[in-house]
Copies of this chain bind each other. A is one copy, B any other.
Amino acid sequence: MTRAFNFSPGPAMLPESVLRQAQATMLEFGSTGASILEISHRGADFIAVAQKAEADLRTLLAIPDDYAVIFTAGGATTVQALLPLNFAAPGQAADYVVSGHWGKTALKQAAPCVDARIAASSEAGGFRDVPGRAQWRLSPDAAYVHVTANETIHGVEWQNIPEAGNAPLIADFSSSIASEPLDISKFGIVYAGAQKNLGPVGITVVIVRRDLLERAGQPRAPIFDYRAQAQAESMLNTPPSWNWYVLGLTVQWMLEQGGVAEFARRNAGKAALLYAAIDDSGGFYRNDVAAAARSRMNVPFFLHDAALDKVFLDEAKQAGLLALKGHRVLGGMRASLYNAMPEAGVQALVTFMQEFKQRHG
């Protein structure tokens, strides 16, 4: 079998050129005499890799100088657990705007260490839309306001995240970072697990406005202190160095492809193509998300007859279209269209869907 179009929500498809570079350095990295996987994170060779990854990421995302960039392990969920410890006083309120499963997770991770409040939620409507700014009930004393930029399971994305007011806005961009231009300065913190749009599994990026690092937070282990982590350039302990390296390769690839403006163009095109195929299927396929909140990255859809789901997945796999099964929370199908998914992959999916409908309609 050859490499297929992989619609996995994450770990997700990577550019073949990135994989080939990772492959080429698996036994020997440059003139080091060792694999990139075997060299010390504190040696000059890896430090150069780490610094280039950060510099390139700063270029790609236009990260202002007054923001630190932390590379860390543990995924976005661990970041969610550490937000109150670093940025809220004991017992302080924190506002959560919930537009899907991952917004709920963010709140659950914070709840043991902060007065976590649901400022707004679209759960009553089945997470088929974002809760508009008019619905937000913000706490005057909140340490921060948390939003999920794109909900990977429910396929709900903010087109423009509203201003929060006085409290800094913290946004989980795990599944949409680098998919289009973003004004980082609107946020106190932007964070993202890398395994969707930034490259490999096993590394997470936290972009944090430096003044927030001065907050006292709550008693916590030194390893959980983001201020110390920023000062130590993300090397308080051994970082996931190989994963950091592959993130750097992926960021470099995005820059070479034209940066986030180019990916915004491609991603809009890919999403439009797939949503049109769903909407024009006469009800054979269905996506229930409000038009203005439809995700460009994750497109959940349902067949008109769930009895066809297994056949659809089997035939898709035979056609080289992988990982289209929807999350167990929703069922149905889901196609993830991150930056590394080429338009040809979406074209192939749409063609398959049309042919499948003809065969089974």
Q: Which residues of A contact B (CB under 8 A)?
A: 1-4, 6, 8-14, 16, 19-20, 22-23, 26-28, 31-35, 37-41, 43, 73-78, 80-81, 108-110, 112-113, 193, 195, 200-203, 219-224, 236-243, 246, 320, 322-323
Contacts and interface: CB of A to CB of B under 8 A. Distances in A.
10 contacts: A4-B33, A10-B238, A11-B41, A11-B242, A13-B38, A22-B37, A37-B200, A80-B223, A108-B221, A201-B240
A108 B221 CA distance: 7
Residue in A26, A38, A78 whose Cβ sees the most chain B Cβ within 10 Å: A38
A323 B10 CA distance: 35
A220 B221 CA distance: 12
A137 B40 CA distance: 37
A37 B19 contact: yes
Nearest to A317: B33
Residue in A81, A193, A201 whose Cβ sees the most chain B Cβ within 10 Å: A201
A94 to B, nearest CB: 13
A19 B108 CA distance: 39
Given A1-B32, A78-B223, 14 more contacts: A3-B27, A3-B28, A6-B34, A9-B40, A11-B39, A37-B246, A39-B323, A40-B323, A73-B75, A77-B237, A80-B223, A81-B220, A201-B242, A243-B243
A37 B23 contact: no
Given A11-B238, A12-B38, A224-B81, A219 B33 contact: no
